[in-house]
Amino acid sequence: MTVADRKVTQTQKTNQKGCIVRQTPAGLLSFVRRAATTAFAAVLIASGGVSAAHAKSNPRYAAIVIDANNGKTLFSSSADAPRYPASLTKMMTLYMVFDALKAGRIRLDSKVPFSKYAAGRPPTKIGVRPGGSITVEQAILSLITKSANDAAAAVGELLGGTEANFASMMTAKARSLGMSQTTFRNASGLPDANQKTTARDMATLGIALREHHAKYYGYFSTRSFKFGNTTIRGHNRLLDRVKGVDGIKTGYINASGFNLVTSLKDGDRKLVAVVMGGTSGASRDNHMAELVQRYLPKASTRSTGLLVARGSADDAAVTAYASPLPRSDAPIPSDRPGLAVLQQVATADAKSALEIATADPVRADRLQAAVARSAAAAAAALDPVATASTTSRSGWAIQVASLGSEGEARSTLSKVARQASGILSADAAFTETFTKGGTTYYRARFGGYGSKDEAWNTCSALKKKDISCYAIQQ
């Protein structure tokens, strides 16, 4: 922890029991109160049925509440409109892992090797180096708590040969579950203009995870786990806040806003709810809590049986893309062979993509390379701010806060960028983590400065606007 980090976190103190207690400065408290008032107003509007004006004011918003006993829709708003799933994508990644566990293709103690590609996925990540590995169970826990993009890619390579092939498997599985409006391009949810879903499809997946994989579903209630000497804590605040909530997943990229799928069981009543496009993690959570509170009493206490068809255990499209797993836990090479056609699933089903790859492998390789270039360009245009894949980490940066959650850090970055619109570029905003005393903190930074003087001068201009900051070399 740097001296500057200690300065930023000096508003924390330790109580008599040794627990960290955060004290909020008066200025920040005023901001939080204003934000809370705005979020509460949005919740009041949404709880009575989101008006057309409210939906128009936030075009990324979508929500649905499903009675998980009988499948009845209790509430919906833009539930069938296309949205970016962000890290909700990892719900399907985990579904595929659970499928493989159930089929005996892998075990919880099987090794998940990290290729150079997987290890190089941008944060959030668990940080395994190329050639290293973790167990399948560690991968599951890292996907659920830290939403680790590197672990998602490594799992995709293990089960699909390449992450691209695995994305085709995911899409084929989505179709077999009735998720007709969902297309996956990667295993993590990192930005891709063609990776789309709907709130209704995500609710379907949430129900399917509980119904089809009850043996493993309990992992979604994990609040933290120990990885080496580090305690990794989860992002799902609803687990400790709302009675009966047992998962499932949060997600965020710039293009999607703040997403959340929540499953709840209270007595004989069960709900699965989805909120997409939240303007902050806190407002999203508040809205979800209000939806659950409002619609749980309306849920049935009687189950009508399985709501989501399991699909064929020998689903041809999924099996066709599956990677032959090693007979032992030997490391897997970085450049692994596999079917080289993947991105076609958005416009054609997995069977037709497989036919192209089988008939003309050279054409398939060229197609994948072209699509990869196009996807990279689309991703940069789609989400230039919040992911490490599009933000330079070299040179100098300006840090404006060090906070206890990624959502808080991103909200602070957005606020500061608005306050200093003529000084800072929102495109340069990013978060970075560090751990102290077993707790993970999120540094809120603006990067892209080529020299110390440039960063220092910018910070001086921010201080004139009463924005605390300091310059640091990356």
Instruction: Just list the catalytic residues.
Output: 87, 90, 147
Q: Which residues contact 445 (CB under 8 A, 6 or more apart)?
A: 397, 398, 399, 400, 413, 429, 430, 431, 432, 472
Cβ count within 10 A of residue 23: 10
86: tokens are 């962000």
Q: 3-state class of 141 per DSSP?
A: helix
Q: What is the DSSP string of 26-89?
A: HHHHHHHHHHHHHHHHHHHHHHT---HHHHHH-TT-EEEEEETTT--EEEEESTTS-B--GGGH
Cβ count within 10 A of residue 228: 9
Q: 3-state class of 273 per DSSP?
A: strand
Enumerate the β-bridge partners of residue 441. 434
Sign (positive/negative) of CA torsion 21, 22, 25, 29? negative
Q: Is 13 annotated as a binding residue?
A: no
Alpha carbons 214 and 43: distance in angstroms, whole number: 32
Beta carbons of 157 and 148 less than 8 angstroms apart: no
182: tokens are 């969902």
Q: Which residues contact 453 (CB under 8 A, 6 or more apart)?
A: none
Cβ count within 10 A of residue 12: 15
Alpha carbons 243 and 240: distance in angstroms, whole number: 8
Q: Which residues contact 19 (CB under 8 A, 6 or more apart)?
A: none
Q: What is the DSSP string of 241-253?
A: HSTTEEEEEEEEE
436 membership: H or E segment, kind and range: strand 429-436
Cβ count within 10 A of residue 205: 29
Numbered residues of the known binding site for substrate: 249
Numbered residues of the known binding site: 249
